[in-house]
A = this chain, B = another copy of it.
Amino acid sequence: MQNAMKVTILGSSSALPTSGRYPSAHVLTAHERLFLIDCGEGTQMQLRKTKIRFAKINHIFISHLHGDHIFGLYGLLSTFSLMGRENPVHLYAPEKYENILKSHLNDFDINLSFDIVFIPLSGKDPVRILDDKYLTVTSFPLQHRIPAYGFLFREKITERNIIKECIDKYQIPHVRIPAIKKGEDFITADGTIIKNEEITLPPPAPLSYAYCSDTKYFKRLASFVKEVSMLYHETTFDKTKDDLALMTGHSTTLDAAKTALNANVQTLIIGHFSARYKNIEPLVEEARTIFPETYPAIDGQSYEVGNFTGR
């Protein structure tokens, strides 16, 4: 059975938060598990406001070591501990962070009630960093002022759906169903072969979500996020600020839209907006000139991956 994949934006600001936009943090809900992507200051308060259940977060992905993507982590880990958490937290972050975190816990005499399993990010190519029953997660390098990584969450090819009426019609025993779901034909008691296509429906296309923040434009990025259902791409600046974007290792509206177009993604969500933009609609309009299916990240809103068409 395939569950929906959903992204909730906890923060859509760049380095300077505003009263309505918090620093970067996303929660991806997939197959009833929660994945936290980046953890800017205030993430735990935003989790409270969106009524997301903290305890279900077992995997935290940190794109890079700039404060607006990580300064909420210390508070969140402390809160986990105060709540008596026992499940380990899997923390995926640039390799340098392992020692920084150790020092922090030591400096503040913090004894967490749970283990942290640290998975270092490094390298110049995509790396499979998680592979479980339902999905895979791949990290890939971005191009920013410091080492930074994007993340691609992809559902595994799911099983075919058996047509309920056929179970009665062909008297299919329950023990045979798992194999049929995997694509096998069914052989009746009298030896008749019933083709798999006759008794099953194909699974829906696997959903995928990619997170790209922070990064400047570079051509190869599109190959990392090829044909994802939903791409989140940072858009710190409007199209007139391409010099500033390049200098600071960020993207403009057109940069994000170009990558979305080249990668042939289904939907583009832009965010990580500079505090200079009170109104972000013009940024969305700019991106749409290249990639029409562009929508803005808004704090507190959720977006159904593979099924979002604005509102």
Contacts and interface: CB of A to CB of B under 8 A. Distances in A.
A41 B72 contact: yes
A140 interface: no
Number of copies of this chain that the complex holds: 2
Contacts of A32: none
Interface stretch (A14-22, A186-194, A204-212, A257-265): A14-22
> Do most interface residues of chain A lie in helix, strand or loop, or is the interface mixed?
loop
B48 A82 contact: no
A71 B67 CA distance: 12
Contact of A45 (B42, B65, B75, B83): B42
A12 to B, nearest CB: 13
Contact of A65 (B71, B83, B108): B108
B17 A44 contact: yes
Interface in A22-73: 22-23, 41-42, 44-45, 48-49, 65-68, 71-72
Contact of A48 (B17, B72, B146): B17
A296 B40 CA distance: 29
B109 A16 contact: no
A196 interface: no
23 contacts: A15-B79, A16-B82, A16-B83, A17-B44, A17-B79, A19-B48, A19-B49, A23-B75, A41-B44, A41-B45, A41-B72, A41-B74, A42-B45, A65-B108, A67-B74, A67-B75, A67-B108, A67-B110, A71-B71, A71-B75, A100-B108, A104-B104, A109-B146
